[in-house]
Structure 1
Amino acid sequence: MPDPSAILTIDLDAIAANWRDLAARHPSGPVAAVVKANAYGLGAQPVTRRLLAEGARHVFVAEFDEALALRESVPRDVPLAVLHGLVAGAEAEAAAAGVVPVLNDLGALRRWSTHAAARGARLPAILQIDTGMNRLGLGRREVERLAQDPAPLAALDLRYVMTHFVASEEPANPLNREQVARFDRLRAMLPPAPTSVANSSGIFLGDVAASDLARPGAALYGINPTPDAPNPMRTVVTLEARILQIREIEAGESVGYNSTWVAARPSRIATVAAGYADGYLRSLSGRGAGLVGGRQVPLAGRVSMDLLTFDVTDAPEAAPGGFIRLLGPDLPPDAVAERAGTNAYEILTSLGARYRRQYRGVA
């Protein structure tokens, strides 16, 4: 196999350690593994297998197709839940696959209930109540209608009633307590069922968000769930891209498209095998940085589709065939995201398919 142009290393041991830490912080109930969006870009199959081996007993994805792709990796006694629920007509396939739909509206609830009745067996489900996000879930009026006619619930094995925080990363935001109070009022109208409240940041709210099941995603993958404090999670990714060429240029010469970067001194420019086609965001143009031998080197010029250019004048060890680090413990996704004007979620989920991926701690 030829040497790779770029290597993305995913540390499954670190992901597992993050899961254990989150579980310890949520003593009121178990902690799920949220592996939607290909485990936030890091590989749903290996991440799921490792977290199941670690002890996770609930798995969440966003889309039904994601659940089908994971079906063989998740034992049938482990709930495999689909946050977006099911499109009409997918009920039979979902039941056969043994997935647990999150029911977000009364129509979906009735379809799943009708299918369960036709099969003559109660089917598992999670019911979502919207408490302020105004995306998915039953609103107040729908909960009131369901409370008046709860018959559709009789055909279901209601595993959890859940909600989703709007601003749990802001512990002082009064909306957190307001949402929990709203959730408690609305679920009290329905038959009793276990609850699921906390996401990654919600776990750090303590008793405010205590429930029977927490659903962390971002924190598993090293994204800071407490943005106003040091990150309590381990960094789980390292990305290194190969230096293809070093050019020596004079002061006044420019680098890259449209001459947006001009050398203020004689400079050494390293051309690196990565670009926005690989998920290195174009918004990092003029803002990004890499690491050579522990020394930070600035991105010179614009991010292009397949190439990056770095000013390595002050990193004499940079040489063709070597690597520049683009992500890692010393350049975490949150820091890169701040430079790019986005969040770390986008940094991870944008990671491209051209990187050679290697995993540490495979289950």
Structure 2
Amino acid sequence: MRPLVASIDLSAITHNYAVAKRCAPGRQAFAVVKANAYGHGVREVVTALHGIADGFAVACLEEAAEVRALHGEARILLLEGCFAADEYQFAAQLGLDVVLHNALQAQQLLAATLSRPLNVWLKLDSGMHRLGFSAAALREWHGHLHGAVQVAELNLLSHFACADERGSETIELQLEQFLELLDLDFAQRSLANSAAILTIPAAHMDWLRPGIMLYGATPFADLTAAELSVRPAMSLTAQLIACRDVAVGEAVGYGASWCAERQSRIGTVSCGYADGYPRHAPTGTPVIVRGQRVALVGRVSMDMLSVDLTDLPDAAEGDVVELWGAQLPVDEVAQAAGTIGYELLSKVTARVPRRYRNS
């Protein structure tokens, strides 16, 4: 078996969910498990949170159906809503909470004949300008939907654009827009993503939506996961599958983009971009070998990458290599590669086996 595995600590995920709940006592929380639970395995994550989580949030009906098969009672929030008129009946059969973010979705819902009414969340575009009604349009549709036979609960939801930028004026502006609608009769309200859960108490409302914090990564550039008391859930580990000496001036990898400036010892690691490791990770990106940091060198290949072992002379073929995890935060690797932890975790591909534990 190829020596590469994503080890998932499910107890870290339950711990991180509890951290979110402790940040906002008395509130409920949708655990965000879209995108295969950010690459961690939706079946295993939902099972671990069964009986703990108040609900789950997903992006599409396919994800919702998978979660419902695992949990018959939990509230499941469909974050992007339905994409076609005939999906509302399926949503009703699954007993979903459905987001409405435009007039077409609202019209299709009101035209639908459903087996049971849906919990509906009207989405306010409070400033992100991605999805959602304007404040004026939302007021209008609140009037149309309130008391409709297709609607059980009528709720309010929005999403921060800059909650990860502490002190951003946008945060206050979005919060103000949200609060200005609370003269309307809503059963439930939700605004806080991970960053807002951790740092914006005024945004906590009735339902939280912890996403990246659930998996032990940070939404902030200036606060680490450890500082936020969340534990990394995934460790991506490979092995050294070859070691070789490289003379001064010799190149390593595709394009000969890295040349040895000293007599060097280079290790080849069993992980590449087809596994989800970022191809654009530059020379110098850290990995862990024998508990010490060594640097990636040259281009990341489809199935392999190279590291400089010159300052770690005892390293040998078969040694474990941590690409990210308990010793090396995924956020640090992401920063080196010019991206975010969300992308690295969610892009670990299906060919990487997941192994689960409750430590």
Unaligned runs of 5+ in 1: none
Aligned amino acid, residue 311 of structure 2: D
Q: Which deviations, in whole Å up to 9, do the C-alpha atoms of 1:305-363 show, x marking residues without a partner?
A: 1111111122223212222111112211110011000111111111122222101129x
1:218-297 mapped onto 2 (5 Å cutoff): 218-231=212-225, 232=228, 233-297=230-294
Q: Equivalences for 1:134-213 in 2 at 5 Å? A: 134-147=129-142, 149-150=144-145, 153=148, 155-158=150-153, 160-188=155-183, 190-213=184-207
Partner of 1:317: 314
| CA positional deviation for 1:147 | 4.7
State the match for 2:11 in structure 1.
13
Q: Could you list the runs of 5+ residues in structure 2 that have no partner in the other structure?
A: none
Amino acid at match of 2:151: L
Q: Work out whether 1:216 is the aligned partner of 2:210.
A: yes
- Offset at 1:10? 0.8
Matching residue of 1:334: 331
State how far apart, in whole Å, the 1-side matches of 2:92 and 2:317 are.
55
For residues 106 and 302 of structure 2, the distance between their equivalents in structure 1, rounded to whole angstroms, comes to 45
Q: Secondary structure at the match of 1:134?
A: coil
Q: For residue 122 of structure 1, report the CA deviation from its aligned partner.
A: 2.4
Secondary structure of residue in 1 paired with 2:14 = helix
Q: Deviations over 1:166-186 (max 9, x none)?
A: 111123112222212111223
8 Å CA contact 1:110–1:152 kept in 2: the answer is no
Q: CA RMSD in A?
A: 1.9
Structure 1 segment 121-140 matched on structure 2, within 5 A = 121-140=116-135
The alpha-carbon deviation at position 125 of structure 1 amounts to: 2.0
Q: What is the TM-score with the length of structure 2 in the denominator?
A: 0.93
Residue identity opposite 1:291 in structure 2? I
Deviation for aligned residue 1:112: 2.0
Amino acid at match of 2:75: P
User: Letter of the aligned partner of 2:128 in structure 1?
Assistant: M
Identity of aligned residues (%): 35
What is the alpha-carbon distance in structure 1 between the residues aligned to residue 349 and residue 214 of structure 2?
Answer: 20
Pair 361,159 (structure 1): closer, same or farther in 2 beyond 3 Å: farther
Instruction: Using the TM superposition, give the Cα deviation of residue 152 of structure 1 relative to its aligned residue in structure 2, in angstroms.
Output: 6.8
- Opposite residue 56 of structure 2, the aligned amino acid is V
SS at match of 1:282: coil
Q: Which deviates more, 208-217 or 66-75?
A: 66-75
Shift of 1:153: 4.2
Q: Does 1:348 align with 2:353?
A: no
Matched, 1:85 2:89: no
Contact 1:287 1:340 in 2 (8 A): no
CA contact (8 A) 1:241 1:274 kept: yes
Q: TM-score, normalised by structure 1?
A: 0.92
- Cα separation, 2, equivalents of 1:247 and 1:352: 29
Please say if residues 92 and 115 of structure 2, whose CA atoms lie closer than 8 Å, have aligned partners that are also in contact: no
CA–CA distance in 1 between the matches of 2:329 and 2:278? 15
Give the Cα–Cα distance (whole angstroms) in 2 for the partners of residues 59 and 358 of structure 1: 22
CA-CA distance at 1:187 after TM superposition: 4.2
In structure 2, the CA distance between the partners of 1:317 and 1:193, relative to structure 1 (3 Å rule), is: same
Distance 2:145 2:61 in 1: 26
**2:21 corresponds to:** 23
In 1, Cα distance between the equivalents of 2:279 and 2:150? 51
Question: In the alignment, which residue of structure 1 is the partner of 2:34?
Answer: 36
Structure 1 stretches of 4+ moved >6 Å: none
Taking the aligned partners of 1:83 and 1:147, their CA distance within structure 2 comes to: 18
Q: Which amino acid aligns with 1:80?
A: I
User: Quick check: 1:28–1:211 contact (8 Å CA) kept in 2?
Assistant: no
Look up the SS of the partner of 1:296 in the other structure.
Answer: strand
